[in-house]
Structures are given as C-alpha cells and as structure tokens.
A and B are shown apart, each in its own frame.
Chain A
Amino acid sequence: DSGVTQTPKHLITATGQRVTLRCSPRSGDLSVYWYQQSLDQGLQFLIQYYNGEERAKGNILERFSAQQFPDLHSELNLSSLELGDSALYFCASSSLVASGTPSSYNEQFFGPGTRLTVL
C-alpha cells in the first residue's frame, strides 16, 4: 500500500459526459501528479500540483483540468469525453517541490488508479 488513495476504482460513462477523479496523497506529501496510461500511449504525464498551485504541465488536453485543494487532495476533471479517453488514470504524490536538481531526490508514490471506460 503506497498510502495514496484514488476514487473511484472503476468508472463507466458515455461519450460527451464529464467525470471527476479524486486523489488523496500520502500524509505530508505536498506534490501531486496525474498520469494517463493507455495501451497505445503508455504512461503519459498530465499535470503536477504543489501545495495547491500548478507546477508543471505535460500532455494534458484542454478538455481536462485539475486542481489541488487546501487539504491537499486533488481532482482531475475530464469533460466532453471521447472513446479515446478510456484509460487508467494514476495519481502519484511526493514530498519534493522541484524535481531534477542535482541534489534532489524524488520518489513518487502511485495510487492504485482509476479505470475509465468511455462507451
């Protein structure tokens, strides 16, 4: 158990709909990341938040948005859903602010994922 929780575990919806995925990071972690994993695209970084503020953006579509709340949980909103949005969506958390500096160390702890099926 990584300490990161995600709800719901499964979500089935129709094209054109909007859904919200929820993530609670590990206790004490201020950074939250969202990823999409599909069979044809692999693991794709979507967005990162740190202590309520957007920190980095990856391949996130304009139909998708996210936010991190004062209690540090995060939500990923997916709207105008298309068949191609069907995927596993992972949330991860870490205690690091900025990754990539030579003296830094950034271990991300991943949640169990939400499987989204768009019919």
Chain B
Amino acid sequence: LAKTTQPISMDSYEGQEVNITCSHNNIATNDYITWYQQFPSQGPRFIIQGYKTKVTNEVASLFIPADRKSSTLSLPRVSLSDTAVYYCLVEQAAGNKLTFGGGTRVLVKP
C-alpha cells in the first residue's frame, strides 16, 4: 500500500495562498491523487483530482512533479470558511486500494 504523509496543521490569513504537500513515495504509474476537504461532523468533500503535472479547477490547483512522489494542493486567496481538515488520497490502480493521508488541519485567521 502507498504510504501518504501530510503536515498535521498549518495556519494562514485571509487572502493568502495556502499550499499543502502530501508525500507518497510508493506510488505507481497509474495511481491517482485526490484531495478532500472535511468540516467538523461532516463527510469529506471532493476538491480536486490529478494524475500528473498540473490540474486547476474553480477552487484549487494540484501540482504533481514528474517523479510523482509528492503532490501539492494550492488554495488561492483563502477565506475564513476554508478552515477545515484537508486530506490527500492515493487511489491505487493495482487492487483498487485507497489510502488517505493523516489530514492537515488548516486554520485561516482574519
């Protein structure tokens, strides 16, 4: 199984860009990286998914370097409502295994 590691927490301020990096050393060629956001007492919510290079949607960007041993979720211009726990997920094609990172608690301050 892929091992995924994320920082436990990080603080930011409104309007700043937040970058969260997930390490996944043992990732195979066909494995996907997905990021989820979770608020207290709620189920995780999909943010973005990528396979390689860069993916951007209306809320975030995902950067995956060529060696694919890590990925970085970028949240532009965060607001107070972005305070949440962010999880990276490696979806392994072999055996359809799913491995979440431990989650990064992001606190956005005014």
Interface residues of A (CB under 8 A from B): 2, 4, 33, 42-45, 48, 55-56, 58, 90, 92, 98-102, 104-113
CA distance A4 to B44 in the complex (A): 12
A-B contact pairs, 27 of them (CB 8 A): A2-B43, A42-B100, A42-B101, A42-B103, A43-B44, A45-B97, A45-B98, A48-B98, A56-B95, A56-B98, A58-B98, A90-B43, A92-B43, A98-B96, A100-B31, A100-B91, A100-B92, A101-B93, A102-B51, A106-B34, A107-B46, A107-B49, A108-B34, A109-B46, A110-B36, A110-B44, A113-B43
Q: Which residues of B contact A43 (CB under 8 A)?
A: 44, 87, 100, 103
Residue ID in chain B nearest A94 by CB atoms: B46
Smallest CB–CB gap between A5 and chain B, Å? Answer: 11
- A33 in contact with B43 (CB, 8 Å): no
Interfacial residues of chain B within 72-110, with CB under 8 A of chain A in the complex: 87, 91-103
Is B45 close to A, CB under 8 A? yes
Apart from A90-B44, A107-B49, A113-B41, 7 more pairs, CB < 8 Å: A4-B43, A42-B102, A99-B91, A100-B94, A106-B34, A108-B34, A109-B46
Instruction: Select the residue from A44, A56, A108 with max chain B CB neighbours within 10 A.
Output: A108
Cβ of B30: which chain A residues have Cβ within 8 Å of it? 100-102
| Complex: chain A residue closest to B29, CB-CB | A102
Tell me the count of chain B residues lying within 8 A, CB to CB, of chain A. 27
Decide: A108 and B46 in contact? CB cutoff 8 A: yes
Q: In the docked arrangement, what's the CA distance between A100 and B96, Å?
A: 7
Give min CB distance, A106 to chain B, whole Å.
Answer: 6
Residues on B with C-beta less than 8 A from A58 are 97-98
